[in-house]
């Protein structure tokens, strides 16, 4: 089942995506819903963020090859990290490369876990029961800022640096999924989505030992491989088989006078 959040006729709602049509619902996937009689063509709506998370978690380094290539140690325990809501944009919205960014703006294609039920101190065996479904994230990073700043505030949380979507798929086979990243239509990398250092159940169980997870929280699971530097006009598509494709174009900001 695919949950989509969309705007049609100036109204934002959740719907269930069936083929190329959306059955609008009253309510939402977290607190309950009823199907309405309204059906919209997918191509006729604006796709919105599938959820605005109460807390936005990110695993960071969670694929061994990517981590070693970047010159870091593979993590020895699942210490979860964070990203920020200001940076979220939906499928098809433009990523704005700030005028003062370096050339090192890169993609990271990631599986995103969407929490469906409140969870505290769940075992690994119970962990996936609190998951509503899965969507796709692009953890865009500006590497120069990443290494010169004390936090990820600019490098990863600049406005528009966190595309997420296009929808939430509730039924997946984690072990057969592949993540495929395309730049301007050309495949760049393909990797087994679930080939993680620490898997989803391990993260959720560990996190829930100290934290309560809430409906709508998202966990971005990290990425594999590298990325070329991205520039004005580039289109990045992240496909995860069984979910769909998240597509965003990069636009270089132009300013007449560099603002403060």
Q: Give the span between the Cα atoms of 119 and 125, in whole angstroms.
A: 13
Least separation in angstroms between residue 62's CB and its own copies is 11
Nearer to its own copies, 10 or 255 (CB): 255
Nearer to its own copies, 57 or 237 (CB): 57
Q: Give the span between the Cα atoms of 58 and 219, in whole angstroms.
A: 5
In 3D space, the residue among 160, 171, 175 whose CA is nearest the CA of residue 236 turns out to be 160
DSSP 31-81: TEEEEEEEEEEGGGSEEPPS---SSEEE--S-SHHHHHHTT-PPPSS---E
Find the binding residues for its own copies in span 170-229 (CB under 8 A). 205, 207, 209-214
Least separation in angstroms between residue 213's CB and its own copies is 8
Other beta carbons within 10 angstroms of residue 11's beta carbon come to 9
10: left (phi over 0), alpha (psi -120 to 50) or beta: left
Q: Does 259 bind its own copies (CB under 8 A)?
A: yes
Select the span of 7-15, 152-160, 177-185, 221-229 touching its own copies (CB under 8 A): 152-160
Select the span of 17-25, 120-128, 176-184, 242-250 touching its own copies (CB under 8 A): 120-128
Least separation in angstroms between residue 17's CB and its own copies is 27
DSSP-derived letter for residue 230 is: P
Least separation in angstroms between residue 201's CB and its own copies is 12
In angstroms, how far is the first alpha carbon of the chain from the final one?
46
Q: Is the peptide bond before 84 cis (omega within 30 degrees of 0)?
A: no
Nearer to its own copies, 213 or 230 (CB): 213
Find the binding residues for its own copies in span 18-77 (CB under 8 A). 54-55, 60, 75, 77
> Which parts of this chain interact with its own copies (CB under 8 A)?
54-55, 60, 75, 77, 79-82, 84-87, 98, 120-121, 123-124, 149-151, 153-154, 157-159, 205, 207, 209-214, 259-260
């Amino acid at each position: 089942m695919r949950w989509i959040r969309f705007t049609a006729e100036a109204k934002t709602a959740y719907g269930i995506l069936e083929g190329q049509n959306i059955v609008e619902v009253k309510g939402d996937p977290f607190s309950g819903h009823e199907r309405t009689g309204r059906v919209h063509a997918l191509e006729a709506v604006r796709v919105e963020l599938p959820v605005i998370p109460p807390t936005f978690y990110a695993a960071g380094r969670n694929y061994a090859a990517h981590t070693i290539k970047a010159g870091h140690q593979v993590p020895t325990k699942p210490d979860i990290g964070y990203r920020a809501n200001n940076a979220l944009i939906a499928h098809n919205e433009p990523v704005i490369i700030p005028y003062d960014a370096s050339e090192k703006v890169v993609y990271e294609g990631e599986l995103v876990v969407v929490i469906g039920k409140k969870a505290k101190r769940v075992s690994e065996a119970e962990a996936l029961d609190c998951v509503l479904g899965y969507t796709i994230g692009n953890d865009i990073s500006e590497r120069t800022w990443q290494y010169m700043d004390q936090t990820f505030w600019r490098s990863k949380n600049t406005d528009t640096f966190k595309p997420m979507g296009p929808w939430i798929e509730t039924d997946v086979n984690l072990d057969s999924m592949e993540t495929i990243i395309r730049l301007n239509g050309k495949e760049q990398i393909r990797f087994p989505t679930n080939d993680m250092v620490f898997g989803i159940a391990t993260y959720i169980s560990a996190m829930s030992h100290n934290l309560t997870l809430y409906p709508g929280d998202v966990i971005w699971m990290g990425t594999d491989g590298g990325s070329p530097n991205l520039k004005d006009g580039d289109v990045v598509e992240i496909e995860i088989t069984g979910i769909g494709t998240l597509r965003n174009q990069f636009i270089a900001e132009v300013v007449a006078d560099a603002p403060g």
